[in-house]
Chain A
Amino acid sequence: SQQGEEDPQALSIQEGENATMNCSYKTSINNLQWYRQNSGRGLVHLILIRSNEREKHSGRLRVTLDTSKKSSSLLITASRAADTASYFCATGGGSQGNLIFGKGTKLSVKP
């Protein structure tokens, strides 16, 4: 079963702009994770935010979590063409048990 929805489904921006992707989920969670997937490849873990955290940074990535609204956002600042990929959120450790993925946002960064 799928856990949540990413919004938007697709996003196209110019290099240097910021990209924001949102994720909503339905059940209680232990953490929320963001992954990146280049076309036809496996997923790469980007960042994990625990349910008792509100914001986390890693390089050009900023993740927020609002457990009252059951939502998270991923911000990529100063985007690069190499950031072009699909981005998935996944909820972990909640009532559904294992790592369950949302539908993803396809990001295209034009040089």
Chain B
Amino acid sequence: DAMVIQNPRYQVTQFGKPVTLSCSQTLNHNVMYWYQQKSSQAPKLLFHYYDKDFNNEADTPDNFQSRRPNTSFCFLDIRSPGLGDAAMYLCATSREGRGRTEAFFGQGTRLTVV
């Protein structure tokens, strides 16, 4: 009955080699978020979609891009991963934007850069 599904759970990529992480939802929520979480730190918001409208956080590096082809799917593209991009990447959805309702998280994708 998973509602927010992230694939893969673990991803190993080479330094500088583009990588894509995927997220799908069965909740039909308007909003999808991508967070980056490094070890023992808080999740850090990278960007979010409200429907098709893309909203980038001011301090998100250009190396990170996102696509949302339809309501159910959202992708995180890292164009040239560096060692500092190794982290857990969390996808979340919510019914309303601006944090006004609870968020539902996937299990995360742990990215290793070698």
A residues in contact (CB < 8 Å) with B: 1-2, 30-31, 33, 35, 40-45, 48, 88, 90-94, 97-104, 106
Nearest neighbor of B9 in chain A, beta-carbon distance: A40
Known contacts A42-B107, A98-B33, A99-B33; is A33 also within 8 Å of B42 by CB?
Answer: no
- Judged by a CB distance under 8 angstroms, whether B99 is at the interface is yes
By the criterion CB–CB under 8 Å, are B42 and A102 in contact? yes
- Contacts of B87-114 to chain A: CB distance below 8 A: 88, 90, 92, 94, 97-108, 110
Nearest neighbor of A29 in chain B, beta-carbon distance: B99
By the criterion CB–CB under 8 Å, are A40 and B110 in contact? yes
Across the A-B interface, the 6 shortest Cβ-Cβ residue pairs: A92-B99, A99-B99, A42-B105, A101-B42, A45-B102, A43-B105
By the criterion CB–CB under 8 Å, are A104 and B107 in contact? no
B residues in contact (CB < 8 Å) with A: 4, 6, 33, 35, 40-45, 48, 55, 57, 59, 88, 90, 92, 94, 97-108, 110
By the criterion CB–CB under 8 Å, are A45 and B104 in contact? yes
By the criterion CB–CB under 8 Å, are A98 and B43 in contact? no
Partner of B43, one of A1, A40, A43, A97: A43
Provide the residues of chain B in CB contact with A98, threshold 8 Å. 33, 45, 48, 55, 97-99
Nearest neighbor of A2 in chain B, beta-carbon distance: B42
Alpha-carbon gap, A48 to B103, bound state (A)? 10
